[in-house]
Amino acid sequence: MKSFKDRIAVVTGGGTGMGRELCIALAAEGCHVAMCDVSEANMAETKRLAQPVAPDGLRITTHICDVSDESQVLAFRDAVIKHHATDHVHLLFNNAGIGGGGAFVKGDRAEWERTFGVCWYGVYYGCRAFLPLLVNAEEGHIINTSSVNGFWATIGTTVSHTAYCAAKFAVKGFTEALITDLANNAPHVKASVVMPGHIGTSIALNTSKVLGKHGALEMSADEVAAVRQRLVAAGMPVGNVPDDDIRAAMHQRAVDFRDKAPTTAAQAAQIILGGVREGRWRILVGDDAVRLDQFVREDPENAYTDDFMKKLWSAGHLQPITTAREKT
């Protein structure tokens, strides 16, 4: 699909981050956009940013939808059909995602399943709902967002990260399997898996809201104690740091994740759309994703060791997080 002009694109998680930037970039190229998100306000802001760069008459619609709920995804599909007066779409970006559910051994099961539900079932339900509309188009493309955590299941040797990684591995494997399935049964529809590294998005800030938890600045004493224990285990001297300093450090960490990333969400959107134009099924986003992919392939047996993490750090990736007090 060399051009997106006059196409119809569906984007999940369009309210912030890469989803927002995909909506804006697609609209700028003359592509009609149907986005969903759990936040009407965030989608309204995306639409406000997209409309000035879009041609006159372009349709940009917003739809409330929790992608982990199949009934809501089906309602989203029906709304797209109605509001875009169509029986087909050309592009499906299964982009919505959250973090959370890190610990399997001692973690909260509801949080684990909520995270897995959004990150995996959101992709699965999206494909189930919209595949018939993609098949109805003269050409179609499914773009599923996995992660570097779809081929490397950790963010460090002292931090549990099970639900997100399990979901992203599932997305990667499913999308790769779709390539053959589509080639045999709907060859005019393609599939790509997107594997971003550290992208400047609000996922760390938004996850708590989606999970119904406190934000970093509102963490309870018990939540602070759990964070402190994890930081101490990682070798950080925070045993006697005041609770409010821990809260401030975790909030700043989420802000820095968005604002100091090596790749912006807008840059990521352009890389993804470039991959779609080129017909690539495997789209690594960011130099850190490319390097991590290389490191894991070169030394898979040691991918979950301290030495591997030190190698990443020495290459300038996934640097250890310091606390607010250490920064001062």
pLDDT tens, 205-259? 565 555 666 566 777 887 778 777 777 766 778 788 887 877 777 666 666 666 6
Are 80 and 124 spatial neighbours (Cβ–Cβ below 8 Å)?
Answer: no
**What are phi and psi for residue 195, nearest 5 degrees?**
-125, 90
What's the pLDDT at 210? 58
In this predicted structure, what is the pLDDT of residue 226?
74
pLDDT for the residue 326: 33
Side-chain-side CA neighbours of residue 72 (13 Å):
14
Q: Given a cut of 60, is residue 327 above it in pLDDT?
A: no
More confident residue, 162 or 237: 162
Residue 320: pLDDT above 60?
Answer: no
The angle formed by the CA atoms of residues 300, 305 and 311, to the nearest 5 degrees, is 80
What are residue 154's phi and psi, to 5 degrees?
-170, 165
pLDDT at residue 251, as a whole number:
63
The mean per-residue pLDDT over the stretch 18-46 comes to: 98
Per-residue confidence band for 262, with pLDDT thresholds at 50, 70 and 90: confident
For residues 177-191, give the mean pLDDT: 98
Mean pLDDT over all residues of the chain?
90
- Give dist(CA 21, CA 258) in Å, integer: 14
Question: What is the per-residue pLDDT for 234?
Answer: 65
DSSP 322: P
Q: Give yes or no for residue 152 having a pLDDT over 60.
A: yes
d(CA 60, CA 38): 17
What pLDDT does 89 receive? 98
**How is the chain split into domains, by residue range?**
8-204+262-311
- Determine the average pLDDT of the residues in 302-319: 89
Read off the pLDDT band of 323 (50, 70, 90): very low
pLDDT tens digits, one per residue of 264-305: 999 999 999 999 999 999 999 999 999 999 999 999 999 999
> What's the confidence (pLDDT) of residue 212?
63
Q: Check whether 328 has a pLDDT greater than 60.
A: no
The band of 7, judged by pLDDT with boundaries at 50, 70 and 90, is: very high
pLDDT at 55 over 60: yes
Predicted confidence (pLDDT) at residue 103 exceeds the cutoff of 50: yes
Q: What is the architecture, at CATH level 2, of domain 8-204+262-311?
A: 3-Layer(aba) Sandwich (3.40)
> Is-contact 175 192, C-beta < 8 A?
yes
* Nearest 10 degrees: Cα torsion 64, 67, 72, 76: 60
- Lowest-pLDDT range, 128-132, 160-164, 242-246, 285-289? 242-246
Mean pLDDT of 91-107: 96
Q: Residue 202's pLDDT is what? A: 61
